[in-house]
Structures are given as structure tokens and as C-alpha cells.
Structure 1
């Protein structure tokens, strides 16, 4: 090895009780909360597509960024899983970190601006226990999401009822986790094993790809994932279509939607020109245009996840009561 490596044994790791948390349980919304005053013409269509996909046994998938969990909407996601309305949720590597911390101590999220100055950002002892859990899970052939979900579900954590991963394990709904090495605070720690995480995350990718094989007539929702969601979905769809074509089958008529904060002007069903910076916004060209070009239907809803997730939840309930 011609290049020097950082010696992680020199790091000072501190307990979570020393950290100031930006979020606590007060951010978690209740299912009894009033329906948000947020309207969009796509909500009834998406509710109908979700209910139809459940009725026909087709894929009902969500890919999302970790900030969706920080928006406090986890109870809506768990309720969808319990009712069979969602049968896979894909997270980036930060998702399980927030899920673990909320379940364990009822708080999560630290100030980057505060802790990066002192070199303390991300270096918290209890959170790093996830590294050992993933390593143990790999030895049993488990994916990243399943191994963490099992640990939380079987723990005595005081708030595990709001753990998305624990709910997935309990309900046998896959929660897949797609990591990029160096992206997450877990990767700072001396007990991080890149090979184990790569193996576990790749297992999750294959679980995701297998679910995409049943996407014909199904639904794929992206909440706030600008890179992970579109890219994992794109590769998995190519693999699924490759196998489908060999069997004279098709995966082309399904519904997608992107929920994000970025405003899109004009017709989002048409790809932005290469001269526009928005051409490089992956959710647009991948999820809203390219992958549904052969007969699918796509929707874009710009808004805060604190509003859009509960609003869709209420719309699904209304449609279900209406007999769709």
C-alpha cells in the first residue's frame, strides 16, 4: 500500500448523551392529526393506483431520502405497510441511523455546523453499534435493512414502535438500504467494515430488483431522493426488463411519482433540454420520463413531506372508503 491510511484508533468516540439533538419525539405526527390543506390533482390518481396495485398483487414501492423520516411521517409509512398498501421501502444509508436513534433514545439529528468545528460530528458510540449489527447479519445472509430491523424489533428500546425498520421486520415487508461508502457517519468509526456493508447493501439491491419484476401494473413513489432512488430504480428496472423480455413479458404500464421541494416549470413529462441545469435532476428524467415512456404514467408533486405524505395517506383512506 503506497498511500498512508487514516488511523481510526486515534478517534475519540463519545456517548450520545453528550450530543445536542435537533429533533425529538415532538416531530412525530400522529395518524389523528388533521388532514393538511395541501391540494394537487395527482392525489386521487395515486390513491387509486395504490389501491389497484394492492388488489392485483402488484409492486407498491417507495424510495426515499432520510429527511422524510426527519419530517416525522413514519407512522403513516408504517400504517401503509400494515395495511398492505406498500410492500417495499428503500432508504439511503442515513435512514437507518435516524430510525435507530429515534427508537433508542427518542431523538436524532445533530448540528453539522456545531460539531464539524470540533471534529465531533458523527462520532457517537451508540450509533456505531449498527456497524457490529450489520457485520453479524451478513454472517447469517441478511441484508442491511433486515439485520437492523431485527435488532430493533427484538430490543427493549423505549420507542421501537416508531421504527420503520422494526415494522418492516415484524411485517415481513423489505426495507432495503442502499449505501455509498463514505456518505454516512457510521463510516467514520473504527468498527466499520466496508466489505460487510457492501455485501449487506448488495443483498438489499437484489431484493429491490426482484420486487421490480412485479412492477407491471404497480406503483413506485419517490419521496425526496435525488440520486439514490432514481439510480437504484433505474438499474433494477433494466435487470427486471431483461428477464421479462426473455419470457415474452413486459414491464411498462405502471405508475410513478416524485415528491420533492424543487419546482418544475412546464411539462414534466418531457425531458428538460441538455442546455438546462434541470436536465441533470435525475428524478425528472429517470422517474418521470424515461422509464415510463412505453405506456406508464408519472406525477410530480412539489411540497414539504410533512404535508404531502399525510395528504396522500388521507386521500388513500378516502378512496378506500369509496370502494375503489
Structure 2
């Protein structure tokens, strides 16, 4: 006998205009904005690897958690895409939500503590339009990231110029969305179609894997994502290497980096012992150690994204325009 299920039809949604937002466009970081100083020995090396990989037609992929966008760094990512130095951007579901809301109303982010108490967290009408984009994408056979980007671009959202999803559509650069069912506010909504979201996010996973077939000589950055980034990367790289080996090729000699707040210490090129809590931080063992163990280079950059990412952006510009 089937277990009893929650009836989503009883949910009451409110318009975004009634929500108190914790972020607006005043938090955005643009290429010409003044910088707080941040230096790290890895940044010039990463910039060199990115510029070299781009010139050689190799993959340069940034895999970002939602806080990268919540910290206002979307305009820098868009500019890197426009300049040709970022060839694939991967986000989790929350990242897509923040990008969509910022493009639509110029605001995003709500207080979980406030709205979970009233049973309203995430239940906002306009944000649920992303679910319709997933349904349309499923019918069209395209990925979730492209579908949301098309909606933002084709419907001329007011602030689409700083949307990474819209930029991907304009520039023909994949911006893929990697969803875990039940983790995003969209999954609360009555119009959520899990089959459509699952299928279109899986399409994005296959696009991600295809990008990794060109990772030899390329660059993969894991920025503020502790689970989605390293886990999707691990499976996709395995697929790419499996096919490459059948063709007598290898995918190695690439550069990886992790940007995060966590302290890993000075030695992060060897796997930590299972008795060490750092062992269970997936970006460490997956991105920094295991996938570059045969032949590759990895770096760890610790710090707030509002410091580290503008510094990386500036390093890329300096390397590309000496």
C-alpha cells in the first residue's frame, strides 16, 4: 500500500514583491569596481593556466556554489564569459534561483529563520516560473540551464545583462544546472515536475561530461561547492576518461583549484587520513588530490569569495594583457 503523501495543492504562495530581500544590485561586483586587496601565490599560476588553456581550445570550467552569486560576483563571471576565458559554468539549483530572481527583480535571498517559522520560506509565485522552464526544456530536449537562460533573455528580464544564465544563451556557452531533488525551494511548489527537472538536469550533466572530454591541458575550478561540484565532476570525469581510454587517449595534465573558506593547512596535495576531518571535505580529496594524482596540478585558495574571485579576475586580465 502506498505511503501517504503531502498535498501540494494546499500550499499558498505569495508574490515576490511581499518578500523581504537580503540582497539587491548594490551588492554586485563589477569589473571596474574598487578592490579590497587580496594576494595569493596561486592566482598568477591559475591565470596563466586559464589563458593558456583558452588559447589551446581546452576546457576552462568554473563549478560554483550559490554563494558565489549571492556574494554579487555574477558580473565578473559574465565578463569572463564575454572575453572568452570561461568556457563552461556549472551551478547548483540554488545558484540558478538567485540568478533568475536577480535578473527579474534585481533582488534575491530571504531570511530562512524568518520565513521557515511562518511556513513561507521559498513559496514565492514568480520564482516558480523556473519549474515551467524545466517543463518546456523537457519537451524541447534541452538542458535546464539553457532553458532558464532563454526565458530570461527572450522575455527581456529587466536586469538580464548581469545574469550568467542569459549570458550563456547569448554567447553560446554552456551554463549547466545540477539539481538534487528536495534541496531547492522550487521543489516545494505545486507546479514542480520532478521528471522534467530530473531529465533536464541530467541533460546538463551530459553536457558537463562532454566538456570534460577536453579537460587535458585545461582548467577546472571548484568554487564554494562542497558536495555538488566535486561529486558531479568525479562522475563526469570518470565517463570522459573511460571513453578516452577506449580511443587510446588520456585526460591528464590539467589544472584544478578549490576556492573555499575552510582551512586545509599548508599540505593539501596528499590525501588526509580517514581519522582527519579534512578527509570528508570532498573538494580536498577529489579535486585537489585524486583526479590529478597521475599528472596534473592543483591549488587551494582560502578566503571570502568577494576577495578571492575579483583577485582571480584581475590576475587573468593582467596575464591576458601584459
When normalised by structure 1's length, the TM-score is 0.98
Equivalent residue of 1:186, what SS?
helix
1:63 is matched with 63
1:262 is matched with 262
1:146 equivalenced with 2:113 (yes/no)? no
> How far apart, in 1, do the equivalents of 2:139 and 2:117 lie?
37
> How far apart, in 2, do the equivalents of 1:70 and 1:48 lie?
27
TM-superposition CA deviations, 1:31-72 (whole Å, max 9, x none):
111233111000110000000001100000010101100111
1:106 is matched with 106
> How far apart, in 1, do the equivalents of 2:319 and 2:61 lie?
19
1:91 is matched with 91
Equivalent residue of 1:72, what SS?
coil
When normalised by structure 2's length, the TM-score is 0.99
Q: Work out whether residues 24 and 106 of structure 1, in 8 Å CA contact, stay in contact via their aligned partners in 2.
A: yes
> How far apart, in 2, do the equivalents of 1:320 and 1:290 lie?
30
> How far apart, in 2, do the equivalents of 1:156 and 1:269 lie?
46
> How far apart, in 1, do the equivalents of 2:106 and 2:83 lie?
25
Runs of 4+, deviation exceeding 3 Å: none
2:275 is matched with 275
> How far apart, in 2, do the equivalents of 1:300 and 1:182 lie?
31
> How far apart, in 2, do the equivalents of 1:80 and 1:156 lie?
22
1:312 is matched with 312
1:75 equivalenced with 2:59 (yes/no)? no
> How far apart, in 1, do the equivalents of 2:184 and 2:30 lie?
29
1:165 is matched with 165
Alignment of 1:284-303 (within 5 A): 284-303=284-303
Equivalent residue of 2:58, what SS?
coil
> How far apart, in 1, do the equivalents of 2:319 and 2:98 lie?
32
1:199 is matched with 199
TM-superposition CA deviations, 1:114-139 (whole Å, max 9, x none):
00000000000000011011101110
> How far apart, in 1, do the equivalents of 2:154 and 2:298 lie?
39
2:15 is matched with 15
> How far apart, in 2, do the equivalents of 1:148 and 1:303 lie?
30
Q: Work out whether residues 35 and 314 of structure 1, in 8 Å CA contact, stay in contact via their aligned partners in 2.
A: no
Alignment of 1:106-145 (within 5 A): 106-145=106-145
* C-alpha displacement of 1:219: 0.3
Q: Work out whether residues 244 and 250 of structure 1, in 8 Å CA contact, stay in contact via their aligned partners in 2.
A: yes
Which ranges of structure 2 fall in alignment gaps of 5 or more residues? none
> How far apart, in 1, do the equivalents of 2:106 and 2:35 lie?
25
1:217 is matched with 217
Equivalent residue of 1:127, what SS?
helix
Q: How many residues align?
A: 322
RMSD (Å), alpha carbons: 0.7
> How far apart, in 2, do the equivalents of 1:208 and 1:13 lie?
34
> How far apart, in 1, do the equivalents of 2:158 and 2:10 lie?
33
> How far apart, in 2, do the equivalents of 1:244 and 1:29 lie?
39
Equivalent residue of 2:17, what SS?
helix
Equivalent residue of 2:97, what SS?
helix
> How far apart, in 1, do the equivalents of 2:98 and 2:67 lie?
9
